[in-house]
A and B are shown apart, each in its own frame.
Chain A
Amino acid sequence: QVQLVESGGGLVKPGGSLRLSCAASGFTFSDYYMSWIRQAPGKGLEWVSYISSSGSTIYYADSVKGRFTISRDNAKNSLYLQMNSLRAEDTAVYYCARDSLWELPDYFDYWGQGTLVTVSS
């Protein structure tokens, strides 16, 4: 069965960095586009970033552009989110989610359980 397992969250000071990972299994990871989505405490869902199956096409929400970097390693069935210059407003549960099979926007059919990132001094 499809599984997505995030890790790497934790407490970090404003201006600090953190790298999130998402381990995928149960499907051919290299076929799928993937996204990161976050949810601030008690708030709604916000899409963060998208990466194509090969890693050649990447998009970011304006709120993280220039600070976050998405990447993937298809040999390791893993998705990553490098987060730099973190701010208090980046505090959230970060989910990785399976996106499309093709270069078209799509819905998210599988989600990980999420990893909590807390930015506080």
Chain B
Amino acid sequence: EIVMTQSPATLSVSPGERATLSCRASQSVSSNLAWYQQKPGQAPRLLIYGASTRATGIPARFSGSGSGTEFTLTISSLQSEDFAVYYCQQYNNWPPLYTFGQGTKLEIK
């Protein structure tokens, strides 16, 4: 099983500033990496797939980078609606034993 590790567990950032979230895979997942945003009481929402492609309707302030085992989600100029929990997910292996990171909570500083 591929283990996904996100850091930090909690990130405190002021509105208008940049946030950088990390995700590490225990073995290479190529670029088969997605990022999701989850707000309290809501289902996760797809932000990024293919490590760097924004999903439909996702603002340009969200960007993803990385390949192999190291990935980053960057949110430039944080808006109030961006404070949430973010998860990474790998979809590289077959059978599809999908695994998620444990999440990073992005909170207002």
Question: B91 touching A106 by the CB < 8 A rule?
Answer: yes
Question: B44 touching A105 by the CB < 8 A rule?
Answer: no
Say yes or no: A44-B100 contact (C-beta < 8 A), given A104-B94, A105-B94: yes
Residues of A within 8 A of B34 (CB): 107-108
Of residues 17 through 48 on chain B, the ones whose CB sits less than 8 Å from some CB of chain A are 32, 34, 36, 42-46
Question: A45 touching B87 by the CB < 8 A rule?
Answer: yes
Question: A111 touching B103 by the CB < 8 A rule?
Answer: no
Once bound together, how far apart are the Cα atoms of A95 and B36, in whole Å? 14
Question: B89 touching A107 by the CB < 8 A rule?
Answer: yes
Query: Nearest chain-B residue to A95 (Cβ)?
Result: B43
Q: B interface, by DSSP: helix, strand, loop or mixed?
A: loop
Question: B87 touching A44 by the CB < 8 A rule?
Answer: yes
Convert A96-121 into 0s and 1s, putting 1 for each residue whose CB lies closer than 8 angstroms to a CB of B: 00010000111111111110000000
Size of the B side of the interface (Cβ < 8 Å), in residues, is: 25
Size of the A side of the interface (Cβ < 8 Å), in residues, is: 22
Query: Nearest chain-A residue to B91 (Cβ)?
Result: A105
**The one of B32, B94, B97 that contacts A61, using a Cβ cutoff of 8 Å:** B97
Query: Nearest chain-B residue to A114 (Cβ)?
Result: B43
Say yes or no: A59-B97 contact (C-beta < 8 A), given A105-B91, A106-B91: yes
Residues of A within 8 A of B (CB): 35, 37, 44-47, 50, 59, 61, 95, 99, 104-114
